[in-house]
Chains A and B, each alone.
Chain A
Amino acid sequence: MSAAAPSMDFPVAAAAAQGYWQGVFRRLLRDKVAVACALVLLAILLAAIFAPYVAPADPAKGSILKRLQPIGAEGFPLGSDELGRDMLSRLIYGGRLSLLMGISPVVFALAIGGFLGIVAGFVGGRLNTLIMRTVDVFFAFPSVLLAVAISGALGAGIANALIALTIVFIPPIARVAESVTTQVRGLDFVEAARASGAGAFTIIRVHILGNVLGPIFVYATSLVSVSMILAAGLSFLGLGTKPPDAEWGLMLNTLRTAIYIQPWVAALPGVLIFVVSISFNLLSDGLRSAMDVQR
C-alpha cells in the first residue's frame, strides 16, 4: 500500500486551479495605474479608429484666413494650424498614422526577432553564434542613427520608415528571445521532455513557447513607447509621413515656426506623443510586475 497523502505537507485548498495568464490578468486589474493607462490608450485608439465620427471638422480643409487661431477660439477648440486646419480634428486623425507607425514596427520586429531568437536559443551552437553575431552588428549603431540612416538612404515615406524602424527593433527583441530561450532550455523539465524521447518541434511547442513568449512579449511592449517617439521623430525630420498627412510628428515639424505666434498650439501634438508613450511605459511596467509575482 503506497503512502497515504502525508499530513506533513501543508493542506492545499480545494479551490480550482488558475491558469497562469488568468492570474496575471487579475493582478493587472488590481493595478490602478496600469488600468488607467490602458483606458487612456483605449480612448485614443478608439478616437483614431472612429475619427470620422469623432472629429468635429475635416482635417484636410483649412483657410489661410483662419491660420494659427489660439486654443479655445471660435470653431477651433484646440486652435488651428499654419494652414488654418482644425487642430483637434487633425490630432484625432493624426492618431491613425502615429499609432500605426509606432506600433507596427514593434509587432513586425516581435515576429521576426522573436523567431530568430527562439531558434538561436533552442538550437544553440553555431547557428546561435551566426544569428546572434549578425544581430550584434546592428547593435553597434545607436538606434536613432540606424533609423535615420536606413530611412534616409531609402528615402522618405511611410513604408520606408516602417522598414527602418522594424530593423532597429529586431536586434533587441532577438537578444531577449535568445536569452530567455537558452535559459528555459537548460531547465530540468526540458531535459525530462528530451529524456522521454520527444522531438524538437514537440518540445518547443509544448514546453518552450509557453514559458518564453510571455517575457518576450512584455519586453516588446516596453519598446512601443520608444517606437512612438522614434517614428514621430522620423516624421519630424521629414523622413516618414509627408504633408498634408495628419500625423503628430509631422505636425510638430510644420508647426515649428509657429511657436513664435501660437506657442501652445504648436506644442499640442507632442503632448499626445508623450501621453501615449508614457501610458505604454507604465502599462508595460505593470504587466511585468503582474508576471513577476509568480516564480
Chain B
Amino acid sequence: MIAYLLKRLGLVVPIALAVSVVCFALVYLAPGDPLSAVVPSDASKEMIEELKKEYGFDKPIPVQYAIWLGRTLTGNLGQSIATGRPVAAEIGNAIGNTLILALAASLVGFTLGAVLGTVAGYFSGSWIDKVVSAIAVAGVSVPHYWLGMVLVIVFSVILGWLPAMGAGPGGSGEWAWDAEHLKHLVLPAIALSVIPTSIVTRTIRALVAETLSKEFVTALIAKGLRQGAIFMHVVKNVAPTALAVMGVQLGYLMGGSILIETVFSWPGTGFLLNTAIFQRDVPLLQGTILVLAMFFVALNLLVDVVQTALDPRIRRT
C-alpha cells in the first residue's frame, strides 16, 4: 500500500509541474508585453525597475519560470495590481468562503443525489426511475448561474425571504455559523448544488441498478438474506466509485464556483477571479488559478488513493 502511495505521489509531481507551467504561461498569453501585465498603472520608475528584477523579465523564459516557481513554492504569489496587497493574502481570505460554499453545496448535492440515485436504482425501469432521470438530465442542462438568478427572483425579489447577495454581515473576512450568515448561504449553495446532484444521482443510479442485477444478489436473495443486509452489500459495491465521483465533483465545485459567486457576489476565489479579469490584474489571476488547480490535482490524488484503498479489486502492486 505504501509502495502504491509513493508511486502515485510520484505521478503527481509531473502533473503538478505541468499545471504550473500552464499557469506561468498565462502571463504570456495576455496581449501586450508581460511587464505591463504585472505593473500597476501608477507605478514609479523605481518600482518598475524593481519588478523587472524580481520577475527577471530580461532573462530567457525557462529561467523566468524557474524564478517564478521558486517564489511560488515559498508562498510568494506576487502582488495584486488592483489592491496592492500580496496575492497570497487575498486568496487566503477568499478561499475559506469558497470552501464553505462548496462544502454546503456538496452536502446538499451528495445527500440528495445518493438518495435519489439509490431510489431510482432500486426501482429501475419504473416511473420513479424515469422521473428521477428526467430531473437529473434537467439538472445538468440548466445553466446554474441562471438558476441562481431565478432563485434570487423567487426568494429575494418576490418573496423576500432570503437575501440576494453577499456572505452576510461582516464582509468577506468574517464568517460565523449563525442564522444571519446561513441565510446568505442557502440560495448560492442550492444553485451550485444542482450539477453535482444530477451527476451523483446518475452515477449512483447506474451503479445500484447494475449491482442489483448481478447474479450474486440473486444468490443472496435466494439464500434468504433480508433487504437490509442486501442493501449493505449494494452500498459496499457502489461506495468506492460513488465516493470517487463525489470527490471529483467537490474539486469542480471549488474550481468552478466563479459563475455562482458572481451572481451572488459571494466573496470567494471565484469572485476574486472575476475582479482579477476585469482589472486586468494578472498576478492575482495567475495566483488564484494556480491555487485552485493545485487543489484540484491534490483532490484527485486523494480520491484515487481512497478509491484504491476501498476497492479490493484494484491490484496494489
A/B contact in complex, CB under 8 angstroms = yes
Asked, given contacts A233-B145, A270-B149, A282-B137, whether A239 binds B277 with beta carbons under 8 Å apart, the answer is yes
* Min distance, Cβ B85 to any Cβ of chain A, angstroms: 20
Asked, given contacts A141-B296, A263-B153, A274-B141, whether A252 binds B26 with beta carbons under 8 Å apart, the answer is no
- B147: chain A residues at CB < 8 Å are 270
Specify the chain A residue showing the minimal Cβ separation from B256: A144
Residues from 193 to 233 in B contacting A, C-beta threshold 8 Å? none
Residues from 257 to 279 in B contacting A, C-beta threshold 8 Å? 258-259, 262-263, 273-274, 276-278
Specify the chain A residue showing the minimal Cβ separation from B147: A270
Cα A264 to Cα B269 in complex, Å, equals: 30
Decide: B273 and A152 in contact? CB cutoff 8 A: yes
* Min distance, Cβ A175 to any Cβ of chain B, angstroms: 15
Decide: A145 and B256 in contact? CB cutoff 8 A: yes
Majority secondary structure, A binding face: helix
- B300: chain A residues at CB < 8 Å are 140
Residues from 273 to 291 in B contacting A, C-beta threshold 8 Å? 273-274, 276-278, 282, 285, 289
Specify the chain A residue showing the minimal Cβ separation from B273: A148
Decide: B146 and A267 in contact? CB cutoff 8 A: yes
Q: Mark each residue of chain A from 263 to 292: 1 if its CB lies under 8 Å from any CB of chain B, else 0.
A: 110110110011001101110010000000
- B152: chain A residues at CB < 8 Å are 259
Specify the chain A residue showing the minimal Cβ separation from B248: A142
Decide: B145 and A236 in contact? CB cutoff 8 A: yes
* Min distance, Cβ B145 to any Cβ of chain A, angstroms: 6
* Min distance, Cβ A274 to any Cβ of chain B, angstroms: 5
* Min distance, Cβ A212 to any Cβ of chain B, angstroms: 24
The 8 Å CB contact of A154, one of B31, B254, B255, B256, is: B31
The 8 Å CB contact of A140, one of B19, B29, B145, B278, is: B19
Q: Indicate whether A30 reaches chain B with its CB closer than 8 angstroms.
A: no
- B259: chain A residues at CB < 8 Å are 144, 233, 236-237
Cα A252 to Cα B23 in complex, Å, equals: 30
* Min distance, Cβ A2 to any Cβ of chain B, angstroms: 42
Asked, given contacts A260-B157, A263-B157, whether A237 binds B258 with beta carbons under 8 Å apart, the answer is yes
The 8 Å CB contact of A152, one of B18, B146, B158, B277, is: B277
Cα A220 to Cα B23 in complex, Å, equals: 27
- B14: chain A residues at CB < 8 Å are 133
Q: Indicate whether B30 reaches chain A with its CB closer than 8 angstroms.
A: yes
With a 10 A CB-CB cut-off, give which of A141, A263, A269 has the most chain B CB atoms: A141
Decide: A225 and B140 in contact? CB cutoff 8 A: yes
Cα A149 to Cα B30 in complex, Å, equals: 11
The 8 Å CB contact of A237, one of B158, B254, B262, is: B262
Q: Which 5 A-B pairs have the closest CB atoms?
A: A270-B146, A142-B255, A144-B256, A278-B141, A153-B29
Chain B residues at the A interface, C-beta cutoff of 8 Å: 14-15, 18-19, 22-23, 26-27, 29-31, 137-138, 140-147, 149-150, 152-153, 157-158, 251-252, 254-256, 258-259, 262-263, 273-274, 276-278, 282, 285, 289, 292-293, 296-297, 300
**Known pairs A137-B19, A237-B259 / 20 extra A-B pairs, C-beta < 8 Å:** A140-B18, A140-B19, A141-B255, A145-B255, A152-B26, A152-B285, A153-B29, A154-B30, A233-B143, A237-B262, A238-B277, A238-B278, A252-B149, A263-B157, A263-B158, A270-B147, A274-B142, A274-B146, A278-B137, A281-B141
